[in-house]
Chain A
Amino acid sequence: MKSTGIGSSDFAKTVTMARLQLDPQESKLIHSQLDEALKAIEVFDELDLKTVEPLAHPSGLTNSTRPDVVTPSFTQEQSLQNAHTTHQGYVMVPGVFEEQDS
């Protein structure tokens, strides 16, 4: 599969999904570098992958579980110690919904 590079709308959509803010210069540079990186993937075309199963991880472990018992955890103070803003024992998060005038 020849890489034709990432189209500008797909690039913009990826920036949004990645929750990044890129200035125009940075955007241009990263876009060209992504195209370059995707070109490197063209070597896959030399391999016959039609019947090959994907490998998710190398350990071979499946369904590794531990007993469902309560173990000591962080105190509320520890949980909050790195939070940007707290209020009455809770983490303050940025608003998700915009206020509308009634």
Chain B
Amino acid sequence: MIDLSTLTLESARKGLDQREFSAVELTTSTLDSINSQEPNLHAFVTVLEDDALDAAKRADQLLKTPAPPDQPLLGIPLSIKDNFSTLNQRTTASSHVLDNYYPPFDATVTRRLKEAGAIIVGKNNMDAWAHGSSTETSDFGPTHNPHDFTKLPGGSSGGSAAAVASHQVIAAIGSETAGSIRQPASWCGVIGFKPTYGRVSRYGVVAMEATLDSPGPLTNNVPDAAILLGILAGHDPLDATTPKVSVPAYRKDLKSNIKGLKIGLPKEYFMPDTQPGINDLVKRAAAVLEKSGATLVEVSMMDPKFSIADYTIIQRSGVSSNLSRYDGVRYGHDRSHFGSEAKRRIMLGTYALSSGFYDAYYRRAQQVRMLLKQDFDRIFTQVDVILAPTSPSTALPIGSTLNHPMFGEIADVLIEGSSLTGHTGVNVPVGTIAGLPVGMQLVANHFAEQTILNLAYAYEQTVNWKDNQL
């Protein structure tokens, strides 16, 4: 048995290349870790045991010599959120509508992982259709937080975050529309990286909102996030929203020298009603970056309350449009299989887009989105990076979303603005309160992923976040 809690993508690579262990041994250990913890966590919708072991055997055939540079993940098991299409493997988006759906193709994210040699061991649980910030709206039941099984993992990529935090897998892939990577990463205490909108292809992802969805990695350290981002990023002819912007060598260029970087702390994001202790821990983390050479400045931005309202209209409208294709004829079940959260969102979106109400709701929301973009453009002429808490609370109890139709919007209040404007952000764990993780988010300008990777790396090199206990 290999102890997965001691492994990173790089140490796994080394272990496989030096034949300290085989891909079959690593995959078997991963499956054992998944199966032994699933009764407590429920981080997976589907575990692909047979397919993973077959892929591991094929990888071992190739690993008689070290992996070639273009296959940095050869023989390494990973899991992906269940909204990424996987060729002939069930892809449900945690909805009963799709519980019999076997895509005849791979998502670009899936294909790139496979081409890099990764072994897909399973599909992670999520809020159904990614509608939520709790993983509690999954039609297959909630995922539990590994730090406290009575708590939510956050969402919608809660299965991916819990699987990484509990070392069921070394790393996982999630997707974010507004907070769905960063917020569960915050609640589970892992790195969650949301790339610039368009940096990673959406092709083959079960769509939520087409102008927001951004796939990205969840990992236990910054170098692993840099490695995965390098594999996933780049133009895809199958997604017209991926521009032809060159992809840096994120891992190779990772450096902890952050001298000269200017970090803005928006006073509106350190809200007075944030759970006590969170603002302090995040400001303490900012001070660490200052000591490492960055400059801190207080800035003022649009009140995040506008992002809640704006996101609610933009997202629901996208949902009603994207979910209109589900008719149960060509694939999946009919519309009677939608859960209550999906129905609620379809209804609001349909109303906001309907004749007579479009101007009052959707068009106004697009205008507010423009104001948000102008606000972020202005800020990024003053500072390189924005630093703030990721979430206003630590993980909340299972059941918190019941009868709270705006739960997700409130939980993601500090993330929605930078999502609507398409910026890149990362959650970095900075401490714990009563044993539950707290995260800070670093947000940078479009395609400046390297800047926040370096800042996160500088912090990680200096501080063991688990030592910061309140």
Contact = CB atoms under 8 A, between A and B. Distances in A.
Q: Which 6 A-B pairs have the closest CB atoms?
A: A58-B422, A54-B366, A82-B331, A57-B211, A78-B104, A55-B370
Contact of B340 (A13, A26, A41, A82): A26
B313 A18 contact: no
B350 A40 contact: no
B197 A79 contact: no
Nearest to A16: B350
B237 interface: yes
Interface of B: 100-102, 104-105, 197-198, 210-211, 237, 240-241, 243, 305-306, 308-309, 312-313, 316, 320, 324, 328-332, 335-336, 338, 340, 343-344, 346-348, 350-351, 354, 360-361, 363-371, 373, 405-406, 409, 420-422, 446
Contacts of A74: 104-105
A82 B343 contact: no
B211 A17 contact: no
A49 to B, nearest CB: 5
B313 A53 contact: no
A41 B343 contact: no
A55 B347 contact: no
A84 B331 CA distance: 6
B344 A34 contact: yes
Per DSSP, are chain B's interface residues mostly helix, strand or loop, or mixed? Answer: helix
Interface string A35-72: 01110111110110100111111110100111000000
Interface string A1-12: 100001000100
Interface residues of A, number: 50
A17 B305 contact: no
A67 to B, nearest CB: 9
Contacts of A57: 197, 210-211, 241, 422
Contact of A19 (B101, B324, B332, B363): B324
A43 B310 CA distance: 9
Nearest to B98: A82
Nearest to B104: A78
B368 A37 contact: no
B309 A43 contact: yes
A20 B104 contact: no
A28 to B, nearest CB: 13
A93 B340 CA distance: 26
Nearest to B420: A58
